């Protein structure tokens, strides 16, 4: 039965991977037509599992299993259905599809729960469209800021806000996106905390000019300044990435006058991350000053490190131990919707081994036998939660 569920999860992940806004590769960004189609397809699987399905104003897909107990609170399960550009097929969908299968297994067994379960496919964990992450889960949690709303076109997403008193927890299954589980030969791991992150936009403004006439010593080349900054980022001592760079009006024969780049800084320790961001800002100012450039330094989004809830994490650990598996606890360097949900309820996460620790890459791969463990553990988790005082 469970091995059948794992095969279905794999088949569904394959079918979902075909829904994309860029033919030939997987790309599903916030509120795109591809996301609407993904919500339709996954919504049909939720319906087949007996869930009541709707899409909220933030494009989150929600499938609800109502408890027979009146006034019962709700436990959320899920992950995200948006992707990076040219993504792998597991980052996000694995958590949504294992949740649907775990719920389906329990319903088939005639289980009655003292709480409602909502399975969620969140609409924006990656933040590709606006550089800010968690638009869907923050809309649900009611934590969008005025700055978010100023940036985005889809203002109506604020109305997706739910009453936090409805919920008593959130659990998310996700690929590890790192090599630890593979190295230790363990299919799943229990997450202790999720690293904080800072996302910034950095602009170097120089003077555009003729590539053939302005002497090298008289240039104010914004791209050369940005290049020097990127090498400083590489040496800053925490996890830091320039993932996107744009040269305005770039051409072979034009000295770059305007360059903007994204900066993403992560650490488990918030003060170390903030100190690294400050040091990089000073570095950028020095580079700009020395090269006669202007600098625009904009903080786009910042989230603190989030500890996973002790009780929910312990329940996950018990479910893993019950399968005779070593309980490996590990932190997450990647961000997850659990960060946004932690504003309104306790959160926990289960990581699943992925090949080579590779993610944000079409080569993402997860074994069906590991998917099976994840579905089993998640179904056990819900049952244990129901017995928990
Ligand atoms: C999400 O994948 C992130 O950026 O951590
Ligand atoms: Mn993810
Ligand atoms: Mn991701």
Does the Cβ of 126 fall within 6 Å of ligand 1?
Answer: yes
Of ligand 1's listed atoms, the one at least distance from the Cα of 126 is 1
For the chain, give every residue range classified as CATH 3.40.630.10.
2-195+305-387
> Partners of 79 in the beta sheet?
121
Q: Which two tokens stand for residue 56?
A: 């909220």
For the chain, give every residue range classified as CATH 3.30.70.360.
197-303
Of ligand 1's listed atoms, the one at least distance from the Cα of 264 is 4
Arch. (CATH architecture) of 197-303: 2-Layer Sandwich (3.30)
Whether 7 has a pLDDT exceeding 90, the answer reads yes
Radius of gyration of the chain measured on its C-alpha atoms: 22
Does the Cβ of 335 fall within 6 Å of ligand 1?
Answer: yes
Does the Cβ of 128 fall within 6 Å of ligand 1?
Answer: no
Does the Cβ of 264 fall within 6 Å of ligand 1?
Answer: no
Does the Cβ of 334 fall within 6 Å of ligand 1?
Answer: yes
220-272, pLDDT tens digit by residue?
999 999 999 999 999 999 999 999 999 999 999 999 999 999 999 999 999 99
Per-residue confidence (pLDDT) for residue 2, from 0 to 100 = 76
Does the Cβ of 339 fall within 6 Å of ligand 1?
Answer: no
- CATH code for 2-195+305-387? 3.40.630.10
117-157, pLDDT tens digit by residue?
999 999 999 999 999 999 999 999 999 999 999 999 999 99
Distance 87 CA to ligand 1 centre (A): 12
Does the Cβ of 267 fall within 6 Å of ligand 1?
Answer: no
Distance 303 CA to ligand 2 centre (A): 16
Per-residue confidence (pLDDT) for residue 135, from 0 to 100 = 98
Of ligand 1's listed atoms, the one at least distance from the Cα of 360 is 2
Distance 191 CA to ligand 2 centre (A): 14
CA distances (Å), 42 to each of 15, 36, 61, 124, 388, in order?
10, 10, 8, 16, 30
**Res. 323 pLDDT band, cuts 50 70 90:** very high
Distance 120 CA to ligand 3 centre (A): 16
Distance between CA atoms of residues 108 and 188, nearest Å: 25
Average pLDDT over the chain, rounded to whole? 97
Distance 92 CA to ligand 3 centre (A): 7
Distance 282 CA to ligand 1 centre (A): 26
> Ramachandran region of residue 212, left (φ > 0), alpha (ψ -120 to 50) or beta?
alpha
Of ligand 1's listed atoms, the one at least distance from the Cα of 91 is 2
Of ligand 1's listed atoms, the one at least distance from the Cα of 359 is 2
Distance 80 CA to ligand 2 centre (A): 7
342-359, pLDDT tens digit by residue?
999 999 999 999 999 999
Name the residue of 333, 336, 351, 361 whose CB sits within 8 Å of the most ligand 1 atoms, as the mutation to test its pocket: 336
Distance 256 CA to ligand 2 centre (A): 35
**Res. 185 pLDDT band, cuts 50 70 90:** very high
24-75, pLDDT tens digit by residue?
999 999 999 999 999 999 999 999 999 999 999 999 999 999 999 999 999 9
């Amino acid at each position: 039965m469970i091995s059948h569920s794992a095969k279905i999860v794999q088949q569904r992940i394959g079918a979902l991977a075909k829904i994309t806004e860029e033919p030939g590769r997987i790309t599903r960004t916030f509120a795109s037509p591809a996301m609407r189609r993904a919500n339709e397809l996954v919504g049909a699987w939720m319906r087949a599992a007996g869930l009541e399905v709707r899409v909220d104003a933030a494009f989150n897909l929600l499938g609800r299993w109502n408890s027979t107990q009146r006034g019962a609170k709700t436990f959320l399960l899920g992950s995200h259905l948006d992707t990076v550009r040219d993504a792998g097929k597991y980052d996000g969908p694995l958590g949504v599809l294992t949740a649907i299968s775990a719920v389906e297994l329990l319903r088939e067994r005639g289980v009655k729960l003292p709480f409602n379960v909502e399975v969620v496919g969140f609409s924006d964990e990656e933040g590709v469209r606006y550089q800010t992450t968690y638009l869907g889960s923050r809309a649900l949690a009611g934590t969008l800021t005025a700055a978010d709303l100023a940036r985005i076109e889809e203002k109506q997403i604020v109305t997706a806000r739910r009453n936090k008193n409805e919920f008593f927890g959130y659990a998310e299954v996700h690929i590890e996106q790192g090599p630890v589980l593979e190295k230790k030969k363990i299919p799943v791991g229990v997450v202790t905390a999720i690293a904080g992150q800072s996302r910034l936009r950095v602009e170097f403004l120089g003077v555009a000019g003729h590539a053939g006439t302005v002497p090298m010593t008289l240039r104010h080349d914004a791209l050369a300044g940005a290049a020097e900054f990127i090498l400083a980022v590489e040496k800053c001592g925490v996890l830091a990435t320039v993932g996107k760079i744009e040269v305005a009006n770039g051409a072979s024969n034009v000295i770059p006058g305007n360059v903007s780049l994204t900066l993403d800084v992560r650490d488990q320790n918030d003060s170390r991350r903030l100190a690294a961001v400050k040091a990089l800002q000073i570095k950028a100012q020095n580079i700009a000053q020395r090269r006669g450039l202007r600098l625009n330094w904009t903080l786009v989004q910042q989230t603190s490190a989030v500890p996973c809830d002790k009780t929910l994490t312990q329940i996950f650990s018990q479910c893993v131990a019950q399968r005779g598996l070593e309980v490996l606890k590990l932190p997450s360097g990647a961000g997850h919707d659990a960060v946004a949900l932690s504003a309104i309820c306790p959160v926990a996460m289960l990581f699943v081994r992925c090949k080579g620790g590779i993610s944000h890459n079409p080569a993402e791969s997860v074994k069906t036998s590991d998917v099976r463990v994840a579905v089993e553990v998640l179904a056990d988790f819900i049952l244990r939660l129901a017995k928990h005082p």
